[in-house]
A and B are shown apart, each in its own frame.
Chain A
Amino acid sequence: MEKLRLVRYAAVLAGVLGSTTAMAAPEGVLRVAVGADPATFDPAFNDLPVANAVDLAVLEGLFRLDPKNNIQKNLATDYGFSADGKVFTVKIKTGKKFSNGDPLNAEAVAASFNRLLDEKVGSIYRGLYASLGVAKAVGEDTVEFHMAEPNGHVLMLLANTAASIVNVKAVAQMGAEYGRKPVGSGPYMVEKFIGGESFRLVPNPTYSGDYPATLKAIDFTVAPEDGARMALLETGGVDVVERVPPESMPAINALKTAKVINPPSMFSINMELVLRGPLKDAKVRKALNMAIDRQGMAEGILGGLGTPSVGMVGPGTQDELRRTFPPIKFDPEGAKKLLAEAGYKPGTLQLTMTCPNGRYIKDAQVCQAIAGSFENIGVKATANVVDRGTWSKVVGLDPAQRTDNMGMVGRATAGMDYTLFRLFKSGVGANRTGYSNPKVDDLLAEGRRVTDPAKQKEIYGEVQEIVWNDQPFIFLWYQTQALGVSNKVQGLEVQPNETLVFDKVTLK
């Protein structure tokens, strides 16, 4: 015993000394229960926050987002636009290697981007990155993007995990299996992946960089059913659970071993209106917005996991460009008056809404509650709570083909330009409300071109203000995340886009 204790002292001492000189050896196994079942970690296809977290740990991008969604350099050491804004050049660190030993040089980076942009690969993000044009390697440490169109928001794009650097050679060899065990240059690598059940990350021995692995392993368990997932934390089966439903928060907070943390989320939940018929009338839109008791719903239904909206885009969506406004007041009497002014007697206006079930926090209940709120101001409302397939079809329809009046959609998007341009520019395929405002169109086109941050702030501030006042949406709230975290876990951070960051996690 005595001897053992000595050895342990020595180890601790070595650790303390070591941390001053080099990095601490990875220690402990972090166990995480997640609700979604990641189908693939391939950044070209992955669309789940859970897999984003894995990509962030296993792969590296040119840039990355810190837990506050600020852009930081990662592989990149320097960058800049050509004078005409048509070429974006990035210098990268040298001597980097993928976990299989292949060199991560400019050629590998260019290959990774060109794969993402290749039509034959069929990446779901090809459209998002189309403006990058073509990537070319110049020497060992320089990558040039010959842009298809000018884009002042390229850094935001490159910091997204979808732009992580994959080993294209390994992709060619492994095929679809690459999606399970991606070969990257991040601090961790996927050791095993059992579909639908679990996956395990272990330190990548070839990693060199600023975020060395701190854990001996990260074990993920997939548990889609809320009750079962919460039970895992309560029974001590895991150290972290994501997506704690509001009603389970008190039970977890009552545990001696774990607490709920509530990081903010950039998910902005809204009823996106179809701007036709009565909803073309700004007074009607305003009345509907005034009919909603956001605070009451956020507390009563969401159990506090929501903050009433103060702007269309959520917090963390390029906060340097974001502008906020006073919240919309809950005023059913005022809403009735506005409706009367617009010429609608109580009971004459009929609206239907399409809502998903289980996609956003308490979406089905919120939908019923909103229908109830509309009834209160004399609007007949039907809440269609539909399955995922139907919902995605309906809210993806061209406004002219919609038969309903509004759909509940949550937006967590890759930056200000991306969000506002797609949702509010006239004629853009993703503009599902039919919103059209020439002033906004001009501003958005200009905002895309300019690279000066101050100018950008001014332009996007104006766009946000116009949209907030035009109310093409019934603005609801920003979701709040809820994770159950064991007291053992220290240093866990979560990005506003719901990506877990394991950079500094240690276990007590």
Chain B
Amino acid sequence: MTAAMDTMALGATPPRAEARTPRSRWLTLRRIVSQPKGAIGLALVLGYLLLAIFGPMLAPLDPFKQNFAQTLKPPSALHWFGTDQLGRDVFSRILLGARATLGVGVGGVAFAFLVGVPLGVLAAWRRGWFDAIVMRAIDVMLSFPDIVFALAIVAILGANTQNVIIAVGVVSIPIFARTARAVTLSILAEPYVEGLSSLGARPSRIILRHVLPNISGTLLTLSTLLFASTLLSASGLGFLGLGTQPPFPEWGTMLGEARSYIRSHPHLATFPGLFLAGSALAFNLLGDALRTVYDPTSRGVAPRRSWLDRLRRAKVAPAGAPAGEGDAVPALSVRGLRLAFRTPAGLLEVVRGVDLTLQAGRTLAVVGESGSGKTSLLRAVATLATPAQVAVVEGSIAVGGESAVGLSPAALMELRRRKIGVVFQDAASALNPVLTVGAQLAEAVRIGTDLDAAAVRARCVALLEDVGISDPERRLAMYPHQFSGGMKQRIVIAIALAQDPQLLLADEPTSALDVTIQQQILALLRDIQRRRGMAILIVTHDLNLVARFADDVAVMYAGSLVEAGEAAAVLRSPLHPYAQALRSSVPGGSRRGAPLPAIAGEPPMVGSLPGGCAFRPRCERTRGRPECAAREPAARPVDGRLVACHFAEEGRA
């Protein structure tokens, strides 16, 4: 279970695979070739396959012709790779051996595939006793070291190419069966498949039409990776003297035979060794590339930071000069902020010139559809935007008067610690599942201080009490999964509060929670804000929440603020057509924060915004007016708020 199981550990993709299965083979090919690994791997694999097909025809000399006067000669013009211990031409033998070597790999994997996959699919489909027997048999097979298992098979059946194929194939059966079973099970559990079978679709049809296409990517990846390990297993058998029969050449056997000459006549082992390692490498590379394509959990093409981007970043204005707004330094001041995603195609602007000011003790809500850039804005303010992925193209962010852009890592840490607290949308994923709540909280408390353990613990207890968790002493030793959703969110809040931040950032803090819990959390935040006098920036799409909770509101559309002002005023009588549409889509009642009902038209695609006003295609007010298409409206004060519409005044009720 060695090599093959390794591959299984890496190769078995989670069931989500089908979500991104490429639609066409050509697309798959393009995705493979777009990675250096894939391009090299594919080229090598093709090269090896050509070698296997045409190699024997290309052999310049008779690979079997012995000549005792010419044994063990080093490479020369006549014998490119030298001659072996019987005076045969090594180059010709390697060319001829390609077919047998790759044949063993292909044959072994095909054998394992043809036996293992049907077994696995059937086991998943039929369950019951069949499944139990298959799983038990797999357990038994995996209890033997695989080389020993293969050795036993070859020893019983006799050493020849065909039996080596069977031996290395049998060893891989459990891996195919297990993987096929796991993937099939997860696909069968998909609602649409369950639906099909309840509609009376034939099982064979479901398997053929829905299961097999969806597991094919995973199995293709697995086959490619297993191919490499199968080649090596077969060569291991050759090394132990149980490989292909002489005189027929096979790289593993040639390497095994050459091992005693490794010092005196290194060419003898070097060439088969290089070809063998090269073929394993080729399939490993291709398998890796395939996995990247088929496995959504592995990264796509890594975003690369070009030098140009780094230079660009340097252009960003340093500290946003604290706006001279007289008495108080605002808790947050954002000026002309433009953010862009780095993509292989270039920068893609998601935040296009945002200005915000948030004073201590106040709550600002940023609302908008998904994709409007509000979360990117929040992450930039939280200094959590990864420079490798998001570029601050222009503008400044200042938290408590300190610039949050272009800082050294140490300064960034210090800023985050002292001034910023963040509450995430999904408390479940915001807490590390493998650490106790106490450990995670203590970490936040201890950082930057020299408190002793007892003091840290006391502070943790106090924090949990602050966020309304009873019996805090006991709770500290518990793990996140032992808490309810609301409790988890309270813990996240406690962590955010650990260092008394001036600015609390909350990204849809309640959308994952029940209505009643939602109310409790909001009340808690309010209460804490009152006691500590901090500023809260909350990102949400729930206007009811805004109405009850926020002092100010900023409506965001396609990366810009379209309307910003006091929450009460804006919600009562929005002026921007988008803000109006938002408001009218929410019934007055205190319904739980459901997703916004649809507004006519498609939300804009980042990167392909229309010229002029970004809202133009969906706007009822524009009615083809040329101004809307001519230039993008700047935010201007109208009725005590900022509105970015050429015809804002038309929105007055």
Contact = CB atoms under 8 A, between A and B. Distances in A.
Interface of A: 225-227, 230-231, 245, 247-248, 250-251, 293, 296-297, 299-301, 357-358, 362, 364-365, 367-369, 371-372, 383-387, 389-390
A251 B85 contact: no
A56 to B, nearest CB: 29
Contacts of A226: 259-260
B397 interface: no
Prevailing SS type, chain B contact patch:
loop
A372 B260 contact: no
B87 A300 contact: yes
A299 B68 contact: yes
Interface string B26-55: 000000000000000000000000000000
Interface of B: 64, 66, 68-69, 71-72, 85-87, 155, 158-159, 241-242, 245-247, 257, 259-265
A371 B65 CA distance: 11
Contact of A368 (B71, B247, B259): B247
Nearest to A388: B241
Contact of A365 (B85, B241, B259): B85
Contacts of B247: 368, 371-372, 383
Given A293-B68, A297-B68, A300-B87, A227 B242 contact: no
A365 B68 contact: no
B262 A372 contact: no
A386 B242 CA distance: 8
A251 B247 CA distance: 28
Contacts of A358: 241
A383 B246 contact: yes
Given A227-B262, A247-B72, A389 B155 contact: yes
Contacts of B264: 247-248, 250-251
Given A247-B72, A247-B260, 18 more contacts: A226-B260, A227-B260, A227-B262, A231-B263, A247-B85, A247-B264, A248-B263, A250-B264, A251-B264, A299-B68, A300-B87, A301-B71, A365-B85, A372-B64, A372-B247, A385-B245, A386-B158, A389-B155
17 contacts: A227-B259, A230-B263, A248-B264, A251-B263, A251-B264, A299-B68, A301-B68, A362-B85, A364-B257, A365-B86, A365-B257, A372-B66, A385-B245, A385-B246, A386-B158, A387-B241, A390-B158
Contacts of B159: 386-387
A227 B259 CA distance: 8
Contacts of B66: 368-369, 372
A8 to B, nearest CB: 40
A327 B68 CA distance: 19
A375 to B, nearest CB: 9
Contacts of B72: 247
Given A364-B246, A368-B247, A387 B263 contact: no
A387 B246 CA distance: 13
B257 A369 contact: no
Nearest to A358: B241
Contacts of A230: 263
Contacts of A389: 155
B167 to A, nearest CB: 13
Most buried by A among B64, B242, B247, B265: B247
A362 B69 CA distance: 17
B488 to A, nearest CB: 58
Nearest to B242: A387
A224 to B, nearest CB: 12
A369 B88 CA distance: 11
A12 to B, nearest CB: 40
A287 B650 CA distance: 115
Contacts of A227: 259-260, 262-263
A245 B262 CA distance: 12
Contacts of A383: 246-247
A390 B160 CA distance: 13
Nearest to B151: A387
B155 A300 contact: no
A273 B363 CA distance: 101
A301 B71 CA distance: 8
Contacts of B68: 293, 296-297, 299-301, 369
